[in-house]
Structure 1
Amino acid sequence: MSAYQKEIRSTVGFGIVYVLLGHTGLWAVMLGTDNSIRILGLPIHYFIAITLGSLGVLLWSMVWCRYANQLEDEIEAENANLFGSAEADREGSGRQGVGPDALALAEGAK
């Protein structure tokens, strides 16, 4: 699988997790919580929303950033392999450092 496909899949996957983490208070209310349970004076669903909603999104952003940096390195490596082999082909043509467009212009000027 190419790095570009990994980037698309990771964007969708990380985005879904963002939506789930951002709505943890809603999930806690929908699944039913006992409001008599309090943490730091807050009902449990507020505490869950604060910890998983805000801090969870922050931590998940850090994970995504590290993964995106690794993917960027893979993309640069793939591009270097693609463009590096094209330059090697040009160097083997006898005219080093001259691209196909410049060759066509040189041929037309003769």
Structure 2
Amino acid sequence: MELMNYIIIAFKVIVGISILNVWLLQQNKPTRWRGGDAKTIVEEFTVYGFSKNFCYLIGFLKVSLAIILMASIQFEMLTLVGSLGLTALLMGSIVMHIIVKDPLYKSFPAFLFIVMNLIIAYSTL
């Protein structure tokens, strides 16, 4: 296996585990990346003007796509679904940070994961 393949696998693991960490382990903990002054993910979605149900829908999609992205290490055909699906949702995160006038640094994790996901997607072409 060549170096680029190992890098793509690393990106898949980093993005996948990071998304799972945020949505499953850190959901009720404050971080400096949350929108507005939110302490939890549900509060963050409230800052953005969204309902708790919408938060749960996005959480379900992000967790599912993170699992799909990691499964794509073994099942290559899942790569584009996981990487491009997460890219779309992460773009939405950046847009919401901009709309609520968050400092730019709060969008950094989403931006970094978008770049990684686009590299992953490009590697399948």
TM-score when scaled to structure 2? 0.31
Q: Which has the larger Rg?
A: 1
